[in-house]
Amino acid sequence: MSETFDLIIHGGTVFTPGGAVVTDVGVRAGKIAAFGDLKSADAAEKFDARHLTVLPGCIDEQVHFREPGPIHKEDLESGTRGAVLGGITAVFEMPNTDPATTTADAIADKIRRATGRCWTDFAFYVGASPENAEELGVLERLPGCCGIKMFMGSSTGSLLVADDANVARVLRSGSRRVTVHSEDDMRLQERLTLVRDGADVSMHPEWRDVETAVRSTQRLLRLARENHRRVHVLHVTTAEEMELLAQHKDIATVEVLPQHLTLAAPECYQKLGTLAQMNPPIREARHRDALWAAVNNGVVDCIGSDHAPHTLEEKARPYPRSPSGLTGVQTTVPLMLDHVAKGRLTLQRFVDLMSAGPARIFGIAGKGRVAFGYDADFTVVDLAARRTITNDWIASRTGWTAFDGMEVTGWPKATIIRGQVVMRDDELLQKPIGEPVRFQETL
């Protein structure tokens, strides 16, 4: 009697912990249940993956879908729809919404809003503030919470923990890794006169300069060590920070973004104007080169998108009243696969940055690798496909990408979440099936 599965993926090049092998994968009850020759096995659904590469499901640990918030901006449905079209199987949403996600009720409300509407699996950050610092140790253990997010510099929204005393209070409360936007707010305020009305957007990396980033990260690492707390430093942009972070890998993990690996100043501002405006800024090529060196020498632990949607109308406001943020959840996989095709990183490193890295940093339970008993999450890609990223392809309500017109090699062909084929060949095949991500530290 032959084995029976819910799904069999036939004939793909599967990226297992032992390396890439051509094999079939059997899925049962949402979990990976078998490898090998499964031609004689029965399945409710069979997926022909010949000539395709089957990767562990890609995880985006930094998105801003802005829900709750104004209806014309992103929400959980449109944001995660873009994610699955781009090959992403799980997302972690940031807390700088309106109102901010800083309480147990707010997390519960987010999960309620996500249920039945998210195309991907999901988790939510709790935002740190001076007002809730002592409660964070309880809040970080809530179901569906991926951890604490602390803004040391002003960005979109009102969340801010700027001074050392309050940063230390946050770090002392709880035990899970604290995720940090690291810019020195005192220096940002001092330099605000550089970007009065009428300034050009090319001044953005002058206002939020290298020293603003380095000073904050130095403070963060000192306070993290003093308070015996692990930290995860988001969207690192400077060569100087990478040198510093390399000396503190025992307590600090590091994220970089495709935007900072792909674009450079001043060209990006000349071409894109405020569409290239984000925090921390896109900097000149020497910093981009340093980020790539840090990717390839292992200092960088993961890639996130920092998907931060704003409409073209909002972006058209004169700088500095134009909002900071780029769309990105849908374009991360194609952009990084194109870097693989161009020889800037290996596919093995891509998997480490996009799947295994987030699972390791956040202690995700049952995701991040193709192995027995793990969730059957797969990002199925065609490494040879040549496609052009266009605004028309973008599912975000904003309807634009800074990479409109860019030709890439490598494209997500299917997104499979817990054994269900949610996207195939740019088409959605399911209803939203997302569930809260589980974490080892809170099981």
Distance CA 274, CA 251 (A): 35
Q: What six digits make up the tokens of 128?
A: 């740190």
- Domain-embedded: residue 108: yes
Residues whose CB is less than 8 angstroms from the CB of residue 248 and which lie 6 or more positions away in sequence, other chains included? 221, 225
Q: What is the mean pLDDT of residues 15-31?
A: 97
| Dist CA 443 CA 428 (whole Å) | 31
Residue type, 436: P
86 and 12 co-located in one domain: no
The tokens 């704003």 sit on which residue? 310
220 in Cβ contact with 226 (< 8 Å):
no
Whether 440 is in a domain gets the answer no
Identify whether the C-beta of residue 124 lies closer than 8 Å to the C-beta of residue 102. Answer: no
* High-pLDDT (> 70) share of the chain, %: 99
Q: What is the mean pLDDT of the chain?
A: 96
CB atoms within 10 A of CB 247: 10
What SS3 class is residue 48? strand
> Which residue, 314, 331, 362, sits at the end of a domain?
362
User: Do 32 and 133 belong to one domain?
Assistant: no
Note the pLDDT tens digit of each residue in 319-331: 999 999 999 999 9
pLDDT, mean of residues 22-26 = 98
CATH of residue 33's domain is 2.30.40.10
CB 68 within 8 A of CB 381: no
Q: Where residue 71 falls among pLDDT bands split at 50, 70, 90?
A: low
Residues 240 and 328 in one domain: yes
The total number of structural domains that make up the chain: 2
- For residue range 216-254, list pLDDT tens digits in order: 999 999 999 999 999 999 999 999 999 999 999 999 999
Average pLDDT over residues 98-108: 95
CA distances from 153 to 99, 132, 259 (A): 19, 18, 20
Is residue 66 very low, low, confident or very high in pLDDT (cuts 50, 70, 90)?
confident
Write the CA distances from 335 to 265, 331, 345, 386, integer angstroms.
18, 6, 12, 12
Cβ count within 10 A of residue 218: 15
Q: Are residues 14 and 64 in the same domain?
A: no
3-state secondary structure of 5: strand
**Are 355 and 347 spatial neighbours (Cβ–Cβ below 8 Å)?**
no
Which amino acid is present at 409? T
Q: Is the pLDDT of residue 69 over 80?
A: no
72 — pLDDT class (breaks 50, 70, 90)? low
Q: Are residues 209 and 101 in the same domain?
A: yes
Q: Are residues 176 and 42 in the same domain?
A: no
Does the pLDDT of residue 18 top 70, yes or no? yes
Q: Which of 97-101, 110-114, 345-349, 363-367 has the lowest mean pLDDT?
A: 97-101
Examine residue 442 and state whether it is found in any structural domain, yes or no: no
Domain range enclosing 201 = 58-362
189-216 pLDDT, tens per residue? 999 999 988 899 999 999 999 999 999 9
Hey, which residues are catalytic here?
A: 306
- The DSSP letter of residue 354 is I
